[in-house]
Amino acid sequence: MGRGRQKAKHTKVARELKYFSPNTDLSALEKEIGHVSEGDEFVDKWADLYPDDEDEESEAAASA
């Protein structure tokens, strides 16, 4: 006894979570992910840390 009540509680919680839809602040989300407008160009801030694959392939082909 008691398992039915526990299962009913879990089912109720799962149903509430499934159909819960909080209000989303889209402007805050846009700021957080760093929205780029159409006029801006994407700049890869990590590009200088790693060599390009194309450079390695051209060096390997030149030395072969």
Q: Is residue 51 included in any domain, yes or no?
A: yes
Q: Over the stretch 4-16, which tens digit does the pLDDT of each residue have?
A: 999 999 999 999 9
* DSSP 8-state symbol, 33: T
DSSP state of 23: P
Confidence at residue 29, expressed as pLDDT on a 0 to 100 scale = 84
Interval 18-53: pLDDT, tens: 998 888 888 888 888 886 566 667 677 777 777 777
Give domain status of residue 49, yes or no: yes
Q: Is position 5 within any domain?
A: no
Domain that holds residue 54: 25-64
pLDDT at 14 (0 to 100): 94
Per-residue pLDDT at 8: 94
pTM comes to 0.34
Number of structural domains (the chain) is 1
